[in-house]
Amino acid sequence: MVLGVLGSGSGSNMQAILDAIDAGALDARIAIALSDNPDAFILERARKRGIETGIIDCRGFRTKFPEEAQQETAARLLAAGVEMVCLAGFLRLVKRPLLDAFPSRILNIHPALLPAFPGLESWKQALDAGVSETGATVHLVDEGMDTGPVILQERVPVLPGDTAESLHARIQVAEHRLYPAAIQKLAAT
């Protein structure tokens, strides 16, 4: 399975995918990593592994993912031979035409047990809600925010005394196990 990764930050989930590939737990390769943030560490991680990188030009918009930028992103991914797109901390809402270019082949990792706590900083939402557990979800991307069909989930307890940082760190450990497993599961279908 040839993967393309879109990310806006450090790329720890991309690193988990690379580690699973290296360990033989995931039969895939990452062909390209793209970011809307030219300073994102995900690009440095990719360069160190010899993976093609690129910047997504969102035309100066802070959160919007303009249609032209999505068309360019789809073209770049397709030119790299990508079969499945993995969003790894990509902070923009994917819509058409990118969804049309990869139907049922765009995955996202979300730090909550969807449908609970969609959107940003879901670990803080979980703490504020006083729930006893939260977790991580890998889901297919559709036109909504964190609304696509769930592929895999893993539960993470909310412990007494948890801070947003401590809870988020434990959720990330679960994410790093879950994402490669979800990719493998979807690739087998």
Annotated catalytic residues are: 110
Give me the DSSP letters along 46-93: HHHTT-EEEE---TT-SS---HHHHHHHHHHHHHTT-SEEEESS--S-
Which one, of 106, 69, 86, lies nearest residue 33 by Cα? 86
Structure tokens at 60: 């100066």
Residues contacting 62, CB < 8 A, separation 6+: none
State the amino acid at position 83 in one-letter form.
E
Q: Which residues are paired to 138 by β-bridges? A: 109, 152
Structure tokens at 37: 């943030």
Residues contacting 148, CB < 8 A, separation 6+: 108, 139, 140, 141, 142
